[in-house]
Chains A and B, each alone.
Chain A
Amino acid sequence: MLKIDKDKCTGCGECEEVCAFGAISIKDDVAEIDHDTCTLCGTCVDTCPSGALEIESKKEEQKILDKDNWRGVWVIAEFRSGRLFPVTFELLGCARKLADKLDVPLSAVLIGNNVKDFASELIKYGADQIYIVDHPNLAQFLEIPYTNVLVELIKRYKPEIILAGATAQGRSYIPAVATILETGLTADCTELDVRIEDRALLQTRPAFGGNLLATIVCPNHRPQMATVRPHVMKALEPDDSREGEIIEVKIDESLFETSTKLLESTVEEQTGVDLANADIIITAGRGMESKENLSLVEELAKLLDGAVGATRAVTDAGWLSERHQIGQTGKTVSPKLYVGCGVSGAIQHIVGMKGSDIIVAINKDPDAPIFDVSTYGIVGDVKEVLPKLIEKIKKEKGL
């Protein structure tokens, strides 16, 4: 329950303002809490300048008895369509730092069929050990066998930290793994660190549509599990001289059984440039005003060999497909150059593109929030600026 120390409360109202649920109101210069509305999110506790708020937990400090038996950092490799997904290398880059800080080995888990040859890749990118479960029944990803295998590995080897990609695959079975193990799982982390004193994984993720960043811990349960958004962490440069140990794990085949059948698996032809891997992204926002005007964005993208991105307003309006969407509910991108055309800069969009090297914003409204995050800002009408930009680039290129 959220408790208030009425002697400390000054009635300043800071808590009332930060509460996203409207659970606090100031009455007679003291904060009053509506306990039915309060979700115990804790935002107010951190905000209160006088330390008058506290979340009282009934929970005894239930230390798990064998917490010290859990050691090591794991990355769950994502193998699909005959290749390792890039997020695996990003996870290894981030996990390497965590493992070094904790002074433990970094292990990767590789599940599939005929995947042994890929173990060396994982070592090059930072893993010390590879646990391989290789079996024809694991050739295709299916939730239940993959869940069973991972649960079995975790119970056997007891790692303290497990990272997986917040991809379609990771998001589909990692929550099942955490539930079976009755441990915590933090989704879509954008920053990870460890607190040495208690070896806690500090997991930071956007909350409330990116309006807040919340740092989450899992103090009394092991393993500590997190999924990480693709394109947020940086992979290490591959090092051919690194050495590692490959451990082939035999698992009871009954764990591979499932009544679910995979009838068909299709890789769709990717239309246009792959947003996630593009060096240059030209993004259309609501300020483009109409679907017709998007031709300007498309022309500029084509000229610069870039990809076309979109804000949610644009995909919701049906001007572009959801595949183009950048932001909290879309993709996270970090190109060398991002150009926002008529993009206002809602926080949900900004969390998906703030990692770009150079951000250029073109917007009529000088107060548009996108200017706060941009490297270069142009206040102006996209319908005038873009044609001029296109014309000049064409001239430079001798077109």
Chain B
Amino acid sequence: MKKNSMKKAFLAVMGSEKRQNITIPLLEVLLGLIAGTIIFLILGKNPIEAFAAFLQGCGLFPKENYAGGRGMFTDFLSYLDNWTPMIFAALAVAVAFKAGLFNIGVSGQMLLSGFIATITVGYSPLPAVVAKPLVILIGVVVGALLGGLIGYLKHRFNINEVVSAIMINYILQYLLSFFILSFYTNPITRQSNVVSDASRLTLQDVMIGDYKTVIPLGFLLALVAVAVMHYFINFTKFGYELKAVGFNGRASRYAGINVRRTIMKAMMTSGALAGLAGVTYYLGYLGSIQPRVLADLGYDSIAVSLLGNANPIGIVFSSFLITVISKGSTYMSSAVSVDQEIGSVITGLMLLFAACGAFVRYKLHMARVSVEEEAREAGKAGKGGDEK
């Protein structure tokens, strides 16, 4: 009896199946934060101070003092600058997810589109009106082609997309590293060349009031992308086919859906979004292409997408949170002197709980059935007629 009242209480908190789309991710985040708190306590740090430092690092909570010409607003715009590619990257993972595919190659797609855009437009003297749209266009096209390649390998040769995407990631990492180091690196500073301001998607050193800030132009584009993807997934034929293929390929074929084409479309859309993440990251946030490393953001986007239930609206919230953790960890590290890798650990733990989301959903469903059953029997025994 007691067990059942526990069940009921849990059910009441988690709400109906529709509301669980919100409550389950919240639970996952909460568990992740609790785990983070425990780690901070073990390390002998004040967790509240630490979490506040994450927010301070993102301009969401005031620091004690700021350097000249900088303020909370500066940090916040810089945070937006970092958040932008994360939204694109997470949308990329989500679209593939809907079609039952796991695009773990986002970071590779980001790197390649960033690289191509850098060497073609970034190092060119093109004026801003031409350069900026061109950079975006290149990001979309290159990303879509690379995503399409993974989709092609999947449906044509039955290669697990996770394995092929990882292989392509490494190939790109080394191949592009070779080109960058051989041709696009300043021999004295050993840094890769910076892209032209005209091609850069984030306006630098803009004075707003007294503060020197950056303006991430891509952020608006990211919000548009969220709205567009939301519409596509939920209200169009394309979305219907995408979800059908994701749930059941055989039944989709039976329904006359061209599964092959749908997989290609999904991976190309995913790649295009990853490409946008790439150009807003390398030609926006960073300002130069980076050899030898893949962006962590590409892997974090998996966590964002899982936490956001692969839902574009959900992703806005989860990407906000994960970016706070990844971006804020630098400041947090210096403020409370804990290694900044703890940010990835907290993200990882949230991801861990997110992987159990389906199980929680299933348990809640079973609990509901058994509670309803009991209610029905109680209703029968008491001859009560208030059951439907």
Please indicate whether A and B come from the same complex rather than being unrelated chains. no
Residues of A at under 8 Å CB distance from B? none
